[in-house]
């Protein structure tokens, strides 16, 4: 067994939960998850973050802080810190990798797609646009772990809500004053 018992710090999240009837694919996916858990991408602080949000999953004790930098409506930098089970932390690593450089609209679409996959949508699970995150498709069979897998995107949703509240609508376009304001 390549993983140690200290992975199981949270009693309700103990053990490695992702198995796949297709053993070969399951092994690839487990390897991906393990890799993101051990070598998280975009983990750390963004000193110039435009938005910082924190989320907690009380079911499992997972914590996550997500930071975003925006360039217009594009996510120019994304970082996270957190603690918790392998699924929550690997999902955060994968999500930051996936959404970095995307627009808010694109990130929102990916969130919907990922959510569908985690809730059992087989078509979403085959969607290559989800990248490494497809390794989490097996969570659909483990309802108790759904919140772990969705924690990162829940944080993203909270961050995007605060963008919408704070600023002008980024989808309104750049044609300022092009209609009827000649001055």
Which of helix, strand or coil describes residue 52?
A: strand
Task: Output 50 or 62, the one with its CB closest to Zn ion.
Answer: 62
Could you tell me the smallest distance in angstroms from the CB atom of residue 144 to Zn ion? 9
CB 132 within 8 A of CB 94: yes
Residues in contact with Zn ion, shown as a per-residue x/- string from 65 to 104 under the rule CB under 5 A = --------------------x--x----------------
How far apart, in whole angstroms, are the C-alpha atoms of residue 163 and residue 50?
A: 9
- Name the minimum Å distance from CB 120 to Zn ion: 19
CA of residue 9 relative to chain centroid, distance:
22
Select 81 or 162, whichever has its Cβ closest to Zn ion. 81
Count the residues of the shown chain that bind Zn ion, applying the rule CB under 5 A.
6
Of positions 13, 75, 91, 117, contacts Zn ion by CB under 5 A: 13
For the bound state, the minimum distance from the C-beta of residue 60 to Zn ion, rounded and expressed in Å, comes to: 3
Question: How far, in Å, CA of 117 to CA of 138, rounded?
Answer: 9
Q: Pick the closer one to Zn ion by CB: 54 or 71.
A: 54
Q: To the nearest whole angstrom, how small is the minimum distance from the Cβ of residue 159 to Zn ion?
A: 20
Contact characters 105-144, Zn ion, x per CB under 5 A? ----------------------------------------
Asked if 65 and 80 touch (Cβ cutoff 8 Å), the reply is: yes
**Contact in structure between 53 and 71 (CB atoms under 8 Å):** no
Least distance between Zn ion and beta carbon 65 (Å): 15
Is residue 60 involved in binding Zn ion (CB under 5 A)? Answer: yes
Would the CA dihedral through 122, 126, 131, 134 be positive or negative?
positive
User: For the packed helices 86-99 and 104-118, what is the interaxial angle rounded to 10 degrees?
Assistant: 150
CB atoms near residue 39 (< 10 Å): 9
Interaction site with Zn ion (CB under 5 A): 13, 60, 62, 85, 88, 148
């Amino acid at each position: 067994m390549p993983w140690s018992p200290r992975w199981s710090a949270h009693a309700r999240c103990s053990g490695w939960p992702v198995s796949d009837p297709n053993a070969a694919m399951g092994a690839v996916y487990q390897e991906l998850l393990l890799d993101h858990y051990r070598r998280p991408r975009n983990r750390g602080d963004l000193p110039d973050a435009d938005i910082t949000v924190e989320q907690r999953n009380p079911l499992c004790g997972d914590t996550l802080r997500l930071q975003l930098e925006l360039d217009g409506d594009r996510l120019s930098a994304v970082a996270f810190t957190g603690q918790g089970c392998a699924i929550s932390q690997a999902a955060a690593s994968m999500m930051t990798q996936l959404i970095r450089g995307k627009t808010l609209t694109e990130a929102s679409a990916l969130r919907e797609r990922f959510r569908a996959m985690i809730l059992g949508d087989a078509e979403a699970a085959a969607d290559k646009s989800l990248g490494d995150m497809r390794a989490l498709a097996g969570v659909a069979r483990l309802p108790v772990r759904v919140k772990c897998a969705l924690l990162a995107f829940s944080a993203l949703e909270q961050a995007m809500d605060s963008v919408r509240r704070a600023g002008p609508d980024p989808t309104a376009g750049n044609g300022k004053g092009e209609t009827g304001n000649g001055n």
